[in-house]
Structure 1
Amino acid sequence: MYDSFLYGYGLTLAVFAQTQEIPFDRPVHAIKYLDFNAFFNEFIQANDRDKILVDFYKYFEIHPETKKAHDAARLFLSKHRDEINLIGFERWISQHIFEKNNTTLDNVKVYTYLLYNYWYHILYIQLLNKKYSKKVLRKFSREVLKKVRSRENIYTTNFETLLDQYLFPKHIHGTFSLPLGSVGDIILWLDRKKNEFEYSYLFGTNGIEKGIRLHQIHQLSQDKYHLDFFFEDKLDLGHLLIYGLSFSPNKVMPDNYLEEAPQHKDFYFLRSVDGHIQKRLEALYINQRVKKITISYYTEKEREYLAEVIRATPFKDIVEYKHSSEIFKI
């Protein structure tokens, strides 16, 4: 049994794989959107009369300038479609949309935030909130709860609310707005004078940036982020299971940076887009509030990468790696 549980998008993909096997009474168009690339490609190729685009327009007050900005953002994304399909939307956004002093990207940010929420809104309304889907979600959740002592210490980096009714996870990176009503639903905070936004869920380039933004969000009165994982002094994770979290590399630091500049080894958390999580685990380890960490992997290549990322951390000696099939029979 694990005392605490932190899961990422890998768990969602496992749920989606089972959902695709549901014998629905009639064809469900949205089922193909379980593959985000299918949704994204259809959206990018749609014309102004296609439902997927017409419904998206409804979230804006359409006038000539808005339409111009919309078309420019869509064109920008379409130029990078192949790379997005290759590495995934979340990873691509994290690597490329948050470059500083780029006004073009500033204009694209709100668009991408809304688009990603729109994708899950369609899935939720047309598929995941239906009876057959809920049966799969309940079964999946029961398997998880067989291995976790309590729902009290379940956390997720995911934005979707797929298992929220059953696992009651704390969303440490925020959540999608469901059902999605307007573009305002994704705006958590707005400073009109500085034209600065914060959103209902968190994209970011690296651990430093995400950590700074989460600290700012922690000062707000809001209900989209549950940040005890980062800021609760008395948090005790005991034996922590990390499942489906890849600690993906970022574009800020070259892969061999720490090898060539070992004097900067304390900046290991810059290597990953989830480096702020590693930094928090370091603090918990130093204060003896995490005793052991089990990290899941799917392939041997992924295990090797995870081991390399963790090797630079102070808590490396309490980490073990298990294939995902050894943890949950799902």
Structure 2
Amino acid sequence: MASLQPDLSPDQRHRIDAALKRLHPAPLLDLINAIDCTVEQSDWLAGMAPDVERSWDGFQVTLATDPAGALMLQEMLKHGGANASLTFTLPDGAGFTSTLVLDLNRLTGPWDGGPLQLAQDGANAVLTNRIQSPVDLSDLAALDADGALTMLPAERRLAPGETMSIALPAGSKPGWPVYTIPPGDAATLEEIRSFVENIETNVLFINVINYANHQLRRLDLRARLKEVPGSERAVTMNEEQTMGEAAFTLPLTVYQGPRTLEFQVSMTSLAGTVTTKGWFQADLRAGNAVTLNWDLLK
């Protein structure tokens, strides 16, 4: 599911407001979704029938696919292939058009603030890039106590997650950033997890090792998925409990691609010596059961 909001930066909205104030001292600016109108959509690609829900500030778009279609969907989202035309009709018959764009190259951040989180720290404005793409910051608007505007030059490219500070004039507070988002690599669906439904998968470990034959007191097992960072977990198993299970949660885009199980076994002997073997690998596309035998561990 994707949340689509108007593609207007904070600076563009302030410029619109300033232009309206030249026509009226107290203009009221509403999003077209917030007023009484009808909306029709068209031009989705053949075979694509997303669920589109209108809200006051945008649209919620849900695209469903099976595992086999996940890669195709991701490629479409990387190349702007999932778009639709919108026609808004007001009660007086006036019409306006717009476009819904699902494109991993055009992630611009939340509607209210854009990609740059803005905060004040004493006499400084602190800006942090909160999207997965670089952002070119050209200026920062600052407002004094009377509302007078000063544009502070920045001329800085902020990498994803990067923070910078700008000194504010005395008595001023930060207003809004002026920025552009340069062309670059598309984000992935794994990074934009709101697009992707998760899939649960289990791996069964079957222990056929005779502890007494090999002077073992215990086995400790850890498992992880190579393609899913942070997935490592312990698997409970002992001589009486000969089967252990590891449950993993992974995005659909990982599930339908390579899935490599990595596991490590620590053996504690009757004398207390601990020997660790692995990480071993198993291709889960061939099956979700792994047998632990002495030939593997010796």
- How does the TM-score come out when normalised to structure 1? 0.25
Question: Relative to total residues, which structure has the larger strand share, 1 or 2?
Answer: 2
- Whose relative contact order is higher, 1 or 2, with alpha carbons under 8 Å and at least 6 apart? 1
